[in-house]
A and B are shown apart, each in its own frame.
Chain A
Amino acid sequence: MENISNPKETLITLIDIHKNYTRGSETIDVLKGVNLSICKGDFAAFMGPSGSGKTTLLNLLGGLDVPSKGQILIENEDIARMPEKKLTDWRARHVGFIFQLYNLIPVMTAFQNVELPLLLTRLSKKERRRHVETALAIVGLADRMSHYPRQLSGGQEQRVAIARAIVTDPTFLLCDEPTGDLDRKSANEILDLLTRLVNEHEKTVLMVTHDPLAANQAKVRFHLEKGELAHFDGGAA
């Protein structure tokens, strides 16, 4: 198992994770016995060629999919064994998702998009408003609350998506190619924002990326090849 030599508390531990898909009579092994651990407050990047299993790993970490074999311990709770209902509730409380194409709801304003995850909580309307305003202020879009996604640039849309991901104060953020659809300048701004979330707000960020520059922002980097963890780079970015 790759251990991050870090005195911080371990947040995520993957033990012998396998994932395979069956296509007709053929079984495809996407992940082949992955072991790793990630500490609280880490900014981790997963790199590797297409088909190496990065996104599958991210889906497993986010509780969107279940492994064929192995354990996914998050805060000592094995999410691989959770029933669907419990896993759904767990996702709402612990995971913030950031996607490459932002995936905002186009017919809702930035405010309404960010408010969506809070609808699942017991917060009052007033409290929800306060949380949304705080999240949008953190990403620097306090003045764009009533804008629709089509009225925002790509970078701004991704910031709204980040605000939506952090508004519930989740345990960690999962970013799937968060800069993949952005120009360099906007990409850097998003990466700076993610770094700031780690450094100033003590968030744990796990990011899948093809972009070496983006990966360099991370504190730790995992390289996947053909479903296996090829090597780990824990040097400071």
Chain B
Amino acid sequence: MKYLPLLIANIGRKKMRSVLTVGSFAVALFLFGLLGVIHLAFNQGVEVAGVDRLIVRNKTSLIMPLPVSYKEKLKQIDGISSVTFATWFGGVYKDPKNFFPQFAIDVPTWRAMYPEFVVNDQEWKNFEQDRQGCIVGRKILDRFGWKVGDRIPIQATIYRGLWDFTIRGVYDGKREADDTTQFWFHFNYLNERTPFQKDYAGWYTVKVENPDIAPRTIQVIDGRFANSPFETTTETEKEFMAGFVKQFGNIKLIILIVGSVVMFTLLLITGSNMSLSIRERTNEIAVLKAMGFGSPLIFSLILAESVGYAVTGGIVGLLLCKLFTLGGDPTHGLLPVFVLENQTAFLGVGVSVAVGLVSGFVPAFLAMRLNIVDALRRI
């Protein structure tokens, strides 16, 4: 702590250089945070997927339906405690750019299947009683400035016509990463109005009594419907979500490559700045060593200076990223969970410290090895 004034004085020595170095870190860590946010957005379904839930879909493709009669058949399988189903509606609100997922849900079974989504009891009751009612996630409610009781026209793209819904309630997520951009309405309403594909659901979600029996249950389900007109593929909710994300490409690899390039560039910039800074201060370092500042102390001070730049810039960048995410999903629907998690922020600070240490190591080592007599002779 007593060396802090020395550190601060050195960091503030060349203000423009310090600002640019800190700025480089800030930009890089802003990007790091943003990549983390995007990664979470793509993977939030995977991250928060229920460990005791399985998804049963048509073996041919996710867009091929399954009969609603499977509900009762699934319930009869040992180890399955509850079953629900839903269908992708795929409508748009006013403009195609106003994308958000709409699901026609099996109302009696849906709420119990997803306890992470919280709906007021009275609102749910109102929803149950209104066949044209809908429940909307908090984020889309806020995004469009809707309120409970509003009538919402949705233009169907897969089905036909303009569909009117009345908002009967709002749901929130128990966790920050829970997706609150969904729009739920009665499957029966869809089933009534649809001239084709009557009594077919998009997919089933089943809850197993114990996650340990999931692999066996998957085999039993798929075996049960094998050789039928509607064969199934069952997988855990996590696998299902991961497969969904894979459709966008290897997001993780892209993020890793971009992040690595940015960090490596940062390493070079900071290492170069630190080397320059130390070279300019050769005589001062020699004087400090002459005074009795030992080599390990000199090494630590320079490393601390490098880490100081890194952490300051890192925190600034992460704070800016946090501010940016507070503005909500800039794509209006593609990234339903657009938040900088604390875990990512801490990881960002950790990365800053690591880059600071690595980039400062060589200059600190050279300063530590500086020969006092040679350095003083250079003055």
Q: Give me the interface of A with B, judged by CB distance under 8 Å.
A: 59, 62, 64-65, 84-85, 88-89, 91-93, 97, 99, 101, 103, 105-108, 112, 116-117, 119-120, 125, 164
Q: Please, which residue of chain A has its CB at the minimum distance from the CB of B289? A: A88
**Which 10 residue pairs are nearest across A and B when measured between Cβ atoms?**
A92-B292, A107-B9, A103-B287, A88-B294, A107-B13, A64-B372, A91-B292, A65-B373, A117-B291, A108-B9
State the CA gap A30–B373 with chains docked (Å). Answer: 14
What is the minimal beta-carbon distance from B332 to any residue of chain A, in angstroms? Answer: 49
Name the residue of chain A whose CB is nearest to the CB of B293.
Answer: A120
A64 to B2, CA, bound (A): 25
A-B contact number at CB 8 A: 62
Query: Given A97-B291, A117-B292, A105 and B2 touching (CB < 8 A)?
Result: no
B148 within 8 A of A: no
Nearest to B294 among chain A residues (CB) is A88
Contact with A along B1-33 (1 / 0, CB 8 A): 011011001101100000000000000000000
Is B158's beta carbon under 8 Å from chain A? no
Of B3, B9, B287, which is within 8 A of A99 by CB?
Answer: B287
Report yes or no: A112 in contact with B2, Cβ–Cβ below 8 A: no
Kindly state the separation between the CA atoms of A112 and B2 in the bound complex, as whole angstroms.
11
Give CA–CA (A99, B375) in the complex, Å.
13
Q: Of A85, A92, A105, A112, which one neighbours B284 at CB under 8 angstroms?
A: A105
Indicate which residue in A59, A84, A92, A97 contacts B295 across the interface (CB closer than 8 Å): A84
Q: Is B205 an interface residue (CB 8 A)?
A: no
Q: How many residues of B contact A (CB 8 A)?
A: 23
Question: In the complex the two chains form, what is the Cα distance from A117 to B287 in whole Å?
Answer: 10
Q: Roughly how many angstroms separate A89 CA and B284 CA in the complex, as a whole number?
A: 18
Q: Closest residue to B290 on the A side, CB-wise? A: A97
Q: Determine the distance from Cα of A108 to Cα of B6 in the docked complex, in whole angstroms.
A: 8
CB distance from A181 to the nearest CB of B (A): 11
Contact B292 A112 (CB under 8 A): no
Contacting residues, chain B, for A117 (C-beta < 8 A)? 291-292
Bitwise, B271-300 to A at CB < 8 A (1) or not (0) is: 000000000000110011111111100000
Contact assessment for A107 and B372 in the assembled complex, using a CB-CB cutoff below 8 Å:
no
Contact at B290–A62, with CB atoms within 8 Å? yes
Q: List 15 A-B contacts (CB under 8 A).
A: A62-B290, A64-B372, A64-B376, A88-B289, A97-B287, A97-B290, A99-B376, A105-B6, A105-B9, A105-B284, A116-B6, A117-B292, A119-B2, A120-B293, A164-B291
B379 touches A101 (CB 8 A): yes
Closest-by-CB residue of A relative to B9 is: A107
Known: A59-B373, A108-B6, A119-B2. 19 other contacts (CB 8 A): A62-B290, A64-B290, A64-B373, A84-B295, A88-B289, A88-B294, A89-B294, A91-B292, A92-B292, A93-B292, A97-B290, A97-B291, A103-B379, A105-B284, A107-B9, A112-B6, A119-B3, A120-B292, A125-B2
Given contacts A59-B373, A99-B376, A105-B284, A116 and B291 within 8 Å (CB-CB): yes
A101–B375 CA distance with the chains assembled, in angstroms: 14
Bound-state CA distance A173–B287 (Å) is 14
Within the complex, the shortest CB–CB distance from A28 to chain B, in Å, comes to 14
Q: Which of B291, B295, B373, B376 contacts A120 (CB 8 A)?
A: B291
User: Within 8 Å CB of B9, what residues of A?
Assistant: 105, 107-108, 112
Cα A93 to Cα B379 with chains together (Å): 25
Shortest C-beta distance, A22 to chain B (Å), equals 14
Query: Known: A107-B12, A107-B13. Is A85-B287 also a contact (CB below 8 A)?
Result: no
Of the residues A89, A103, A125, contact of B292 by C-beta under 8 Å = A89
Complex contact A88–B292 (CB within 8 A): yes
- With the chains together, A64 CA to B288 CA distance in Å? 12
Contact between chains at A92 and B291 (CB < 8 Å):
yes
- Chain A residues with CB under 8 Å of B292's CB are 88-89, 91-93, 117, 120
Within 8 A of A (CB), among B327-357: none
Q: How far apart are B308's CB and chain A's nearest CB, in angstroms?
A: 14
B13 to chain A, nearest CB (A): 5
Q: Give the chain B neighbours of A88 by CB distance below 8 A.
A: 289, 292-295
